[in-house]
Amino acid sequence: MDCSPRLVAALALALVATALGAAGCGEDGGPQAPSLDEWADRVAQLCSDGTQEAIALPLPSTAKEVGTDSAAMAEIALTVRDGILPLGLPEGNEDAASAYVDELSADAKLLLEVSKTAKRGGDYLTPLSCLDESAGETALELGVDECAAFANAVARTP
């Protein structure tokens, strides 16, 4: 057998590529879905970070401040959502995880509407009343308590 340095290097590279490919792919050759525990751990950290950002914002006391606060809350919600998207959906809980991401998007959209309405001096309480607890409830179903707390922190805009 020829053990030239080039052949050894090529074989080593092929073994590493094969090992990396097998570790990162499912049966169909695509990316392997994370387990619910893996997914929940990573999502919990994103939500925890988002909660800290949300509670650090000062409570608004005027309509203009509500507009600014709602826009900031929407941005935080979108940051958390955008951090979750590349994780994929957890194996066996795809529907609930997808619903959670959709609920974050809906909350952010609603908060942006509240922001625009409040900044114009309009009745921002009407769109704000549509901010429901569905994201928090879905987070609890998924076992991610940190995301339920995040949903409460985002909805705290008066």
Is residue 8 situated within a structural domain? no
* Domain tally, the chain: 1
Mean pLDDT, residues 100-104 taken together? 96
Q: How far apart are CA 70 and CA 24, in angstroms?
A: 39
Nearest to 157 by CA among 55, 30, 32: 55
Residue 105 in domain? yes
Return the sign of the alpha-carbon dihedral for residues 31, 37, 40, 44.
negative
Q: What local confidence, expressed as pLDDT, does residue 128 receive?
A: 79
Domain-located, residue 117: yes
Asked if the structure places residue 109 within a domain, the reply is: yes
Question: Is there a contact between 114 and 124 (Cβ–Cβ < 8 Å)?
Answer: yes
Q: Give the up-direction half-sphere exposure of residue 90: CA atoms within 13 A in the CB hemisphere.
A: 20
pLDDT digits (tens, 9 = 90+) for 42-83: 999 999 999 999 999 999 988 899 999 999 999 999 999 999
Identify whether 23 is part of a domain. Answer: no
Establish if 143 belongs to a structural domain: yes
Which tens digit of pLDDT belongs to each residue from 111-153?
999 999 999 988 888 887 888 889 999 999 999 999 999 998 9
- 78: containing domain: 34-154
Residue 33 per-residue DSSP state? P
Does residue 5 fall inside a structural domain? no
Q: Give domain status of residue 55, yes or no.
A: yes
